[in-house]
Structure 1
Amino acid sequence: MENGADSTKVQVKLVFANDDNTKELTLPLSLSIKDLKQDILENHWPPTLPSDVARLRLFAGGKEIGGKDGADNQRLNEAKILSDLSKIGVPAVHVQAVPKAMAVAVESKKKQGSACACSLM
Structure 2
Amino acid sequence: MEKEPIKSHEDLEVYKMAFDVAMKIFELSKKFPVEERYSLTDQIRRSSRSVCANLAEAWRKRRYEAAFVAKLNDSEAEAAETQTWLKFAVKCSYLDVDTGRELYAVYNRVLGILVTIINNPSPWLIKR
Normalised by the length of structure 2, the TM-score is 0.26
More helix by share: 2
Normalised by the length of structure 1, the TM-score is 0.27
Structure whose CA Rg is larger: 1
